[in-house]
Amino acid sequence: MSDIIHLLPDSVANQIAAGEVIQRPASVLKELVENSIDAGATFIQILIKDAGRTLIQVVDNGKGMSETDARMAFERHATSKIKNADDLFSLRTMGFRGEALASIAAVAQVELRTRRAEDELGVLVEIAGTRVFKQESVQCDLGTSFQVKNLFFNVPARRRFLKSDNVEKSHILTEFYRIALVNTSVAFSFFDGDEEIFQLPASNNKIRIENIFGKSAKKRWQQQLLSIETSTNLVSIFGYVGKPEYAQKSATQYFFVNGRYMRHPYFHKAVLLAYNQMIQASESPNYFIYFDVDPQTIDVNIHPTKTEIKFENEQAIWSILTAAVKEALGKFNVIPSIDFDQ
């Protein structure tokens, strides 16, 4: 019998890896916009067509790439953001795995145009299913433009798995909010075909919240948000929590740490605890809470989408968070109360 084990060709390995990182159009949007943020962009323009099925375009005014880097960017585990394993624990960038572009190029047709300030000409790279079709010098604006066309053109099973346009679009918006709510000094424009969905100027957190969610008038963000702020040697917490009377069944709730959206059921409970007695059990408060910690004290690298984050000082932060929210609610709650627990 001859040996039977062999290494998979890159195209196959990339397609398998893509399954984890790129599940739907929204994942492409997330990865491209995060790259633009990492590139220092101050203005990011997004255009989608057919809920991202036929086109996801992200144009930024960030630092751009050299010709070699523009080609290298599509290799798996190719990144400019970390050099060694230690760097994983001092992350200040959204990306670091060097997987996104390789994954996207494995399952879509990609056109990249990019130019750095020091280069007169930029470069155009066309790549699809990991095959490079074109690489040439072109005139282009400073920064980077990605067009991702016909996602899953070569993976019919994945294409069929996509949901209706409305569902895919709502996934795209979810990813967009998670980035736009925390990168408030970056301006964004967002078009769905010819329709302008958002035109967000650079601003602060509160105005960004209103600009994104203000359309639903009944939430009255301006009136309902109370600011929270606290700073210790373990963590700085900043943000807004909704007044108890605006609590609802499906509330708007966001946690961020070091500029990154995160899911954190445990900290969610800490917030709820602060509302104890003030809201009904079936309801939940709105909140937008931003944590800043030493990157050494968190682990972001638990899952490819990086939304689950492990904190070293979870219990202590839990208490600090509850206290901060209580304080905000207490300041607002002017009815005098007597504490019999002393």
Q: Is 95 in the site for Mg ion (CB under 5 A)?
A: yes
Residue 51 or 65: the one with the smaller Cβ distance to ligand ADP is 65
- 144 near Mg ion, rule: CB under 5 A: no
151 binds ligand ADP (CB under 6 A): no
The least distance separating ligand ADP from the CB of residue 217, rounded to whole angstroms, comes to: 36
Site for ligand ADP contains 95 (CB under 6 A): yes
Total residues contacting ligand ADP by CB under 6 A comes to: 22
Taking CB under 6 A as the rule, does residue 123 contact ligand ADP? no
Question: Three-class SS string for the chain?
Answer: CCCCCCCCCHHHHHHHHHHHHCCCHHHHHHHHHHHHHHCCCCEEEEEEEHHHCCEEEEEECCCCCCHHHHHHCCCCCCCCCCCCHHHHHCCCCCCCCCCHHHHHHHHCEEEEEEECCCCCCEEEEEEECCEEEEEEEECCCCEEEEEEECCCCCCHHHHHHCCCHHHHHHHHHHHHHHHHCCCCCCEEEEEECCEEEEEECCCCHHHHHHHHHCCCHHHCHHHHEEEEEEECCCCEEEEEEECHHHCECCCCEEEEECCEEEECHHHHHHHHHHCCCCCCCCCECCEEEEEECCHHHEECCCCCCCCECEECCHHHHHHHHHHHHHHHHHHHCCCCCCCCCC
Taking CB under 5 A as the binding criterion, the range among 89-97, 126-134, 278-286, 330-338 that sits at the site for Mg ion is 89-97
CB of 24 to ligand ADP, least distance (A): 17
Identify what 65 binds: Mg ion, ligand ADP, none; CB under 5 to 8 Å per kind: ligand ADP
At closest approach, how far in Å is the CB of 84 from ligand ADP?
14
Closest to ligand ADP by CB, 19 or 251? 19
* Residues 32-61, interacting with Mg ion (CB under 5 A): 35
Residues 32-71, one symbol each (x = binds ligand ADP by CB under 6 A, - = not), give: ---xx--x--------------------x-xxxx------
User: Which single residue brings its beta carbon nearest to Mg ion?
Assistant: 95
Under the criterion CB under 6 A, does residue 100 sit at the interface with ligand ADP? yes
Q: Where does this chain bind Mg ion (CB under 5 A)?
A: 35, 95, 100
Q: Where does this chain bind ligand ADP (CB under 6 A)?
A: 31, 35-36, 39, 60, 62-65, 73, 78-81, 95-101, 144
